[in-house]
A and B are shown apart, each in its own frame.
Chain A
Amino acid sequence: MSTSVLELQHINKEFGHGHTAVTALADANFRVNAGEFVAIIGPSGSGKSTFLTIAAGLQTPTSGKVLLNGQALTQQSEKQRLAYRFNEIGFILQSSNLIPFLTVTEQFKLVDKMARRTFQKSATLKLLDELALSDVKDAYPNELSGGERQRVAIARALYNNPSVILADEPTASLDTPRSIDVVKRLADEAHHHNKAIVMVTHDQRLISNCDVVYRIEDGKMTRTD
């Protein structure tokens, strides 16, 4: 049996104490393998974002375990969690993923600066080409369309060669054709480049490309293959 790239076991997350406590996640179990495109779907307030932030090491669960490539991430220092996010996770947000004062190419240069390595120009150009962004490589984020921005965010998330890509409603600001395009590209990355990709959405129409779907309601997760 191959180990999952990312696995969450018996995750509970509560906010607040006593009778005002909110249970955002209740005994959630989850796993994703390399080459898999997983969707998490559920209504607003069901705990989707909470789940992703725990997977990304942005919050610690009240109880339960997060395993990356079989290694537990609980009990890590803030610094280790930063390094974990930088090296292992590619995060794609609803919008405003990009740094407004950097051009498309410079967004990638920044990653290399932070990693203290020289700018990998050919890797950047190849990635931009794959995502049909070559024409806008010197544009600033505010000069791009919403779809272009999300594709840059995907490229940016892939650039550091992370173990997992976590996408929180990456298509929320897009119209349907563009949403379908972005989701297809994510599926491509999973299937052709052997990435583990997790996408949160509440749009039923976007999950046809996904290999596994987790439904979440009131913090309870159920898996359908």
Chain B
Amino acid sequence: MYLGLKEMWHEKLRYSLLSGVLLLIALVVFMLAGLANGLSNGNRQAVDQWHATTVYLNKNANQTLSASQLTLADKKHIDGNTVAPLSNLSGTLRTSTNHLKTTASAFGTSRNSFLMPTVISGHKINGKNQLLISATLKDKGYHVGQKVRIGTTKRTVKIVGTYASSTYSIAPTVYTDTSTLNRLKDSPITTGKQQPINAFVTKKSQFKTAHHGNLQRLSIATFIENLPGYSAEQLTLNTMIYFLFVIALAVIGIFMFVLTLQKQALFGVLKVQGIGTSHIIAALLSQSVVMALIGIGLGLAITVGLAQIMPAGLPFVINWQAFGIYSLALLGAAVVGALLSWRTVAKIDPVVAIG
């Protein structure tokens, strides 16, 4: 410790350079993690807000909500006390004058379903052709009392309430009842048990019998994995992050190795004086850990600072849990990077230092 820290203090420039490189790597890791989290949120926030465990889709739908065709009557296969029907329509939310236009994800469910978000202004849906909008849309200028259309239909619905911010497929959500959504979809059947829907969502349930018709049961995690584009996006960003760990490891490893080669004579003298390999490795470790901590700390601070001034359109959301794990991974890279010089240090022969 003492040896390592004293040397860093004496060679501030040299060690700040490595800290600087680690800072840049940490910064990119945190930015990518923030983007991955922001995109993930944009895709799945609404699903997370359901607090559901299971989704039932048509077994031929390839686990995709929009491709799943069911009817309300299919509920007979499912046993559970909170089973909510779900319909989905993605389209442009327009005011009648076309004054405001935004892509939105519309959900339809039964009026008293647990999927219905908690209203924070206005009132719950209590009649036909009513719509709840998320706070995100309210911020864009939509408001209670407005008449709007969704998609290409000529039919209009009236905004009656708003709820907390919520997104699905990178678009803000709106909620209405099942038959209103079917009307917006211009579906031929808009009342009764034969109405088309896309899915059932439940908190706890099972199939009533071994024969459950055309239904497939999905855990909520599987459902999220299969949201359009979700896995590919997350995999791309996460792969970049993992590569950065490898780069951090290589940078630290090479830097510490080069310094070790430069200091062979000094380490030889230390060994002559009875200060052995383990003390020297401890010094290298303390140096690389301190540099990593400085780099990670500054990287975090800059990331948090940048998050404040980022344009609102950028899907960037800080996730402290992920940041914590990635910080530990970078720290691990620093530890391993320093340990890579172990053999070199162990092989330094003190006799050479004398000769």
Contacts and interface: CB of A to CB of B under 8 A. Distances in A.
B354 A93 contact: yes
B351 A58 contact: yes
Interface string A42-77: 000000010011001011000000000000000000
A151 B10 CA distance: 23
B111 interface: no
Interface stretch (A101-109, A126-134, A188-196, A207-215): A101-109
A93 B355 CA distance: 9
B354 A101 contact: no
A100 B279 CA distance: 17
Nearest to A115: B274
Interface string A113-143: 1100000000000000000000000001000
Interface string A74-101: 0000110011111101010100110111
| Interface hub of B269, B273, B279, B350 (most chain A Cβ within 10 A) | B273
A53 B276 contact: no
Contact of B354 (A49, A82, A102, A113): A49
Contacts of A110: 2-3, 275
A86 B275 contact: yes
B235 to A, nearest CB: 46
Q: Is the interface of B mostly helix, strand, loop or mixed?
A: helix
B274 A82 contact: yes
A168 interface: yes
B6 A106 contact: yes
Contact of A91 (B1, B10, B11, B272): B272
Contacts, number: 64
A85 B11 contact: no
B351 A53 contact: yes
B353 interface: yes
B206 to A, nearest CB: 63
A79 B6 contact: no
A58 B279 contact: no
Interface of A: 49, 52-53, 56, 58-59, 78-79, 82-87, 89, 91, 93, 96-97, 99-102, 106, 109-110, 113-114, 140, 168
Interface in B276-301: 276, 279
A114 B275 contact: yes
B350 A101 contact: no
A167 B56 CA distance: 84
Interface of B: 1-3, 6-7, 9-11, 265-266, 269-276, 279, 350-351, 353-355
A53 B354 contact: yes
Contacts of A53: 350-351, 354
Contact of A79 (B7, B269, B276): B276
Nearest to A87: B274
Given A53-B351, A101-B7, A106-B6, A93 B274 contact: no
A59 B270 CA distance: 16
Contacts of B269: 93, 96-97, 99
A168 B273 contact: no
A37 B336 CA distance: 48
Contact of A58 (B9, B266, B354): B354
Given A58-B354, A82-B271, A91-B272, A96 B265 contact: yes
Contacts of A79: 276
Q: Which 9 A-B pairs have the closest CB atoms?
A: A86-B274, A101-B10, A85-B274, A82-B276, A113-B2, A101-B7, A82-B274, A91-B272, A53-B351
A173 B267 CA distance: 21
Nearest to B7: A101
A85 B272 contact: yes
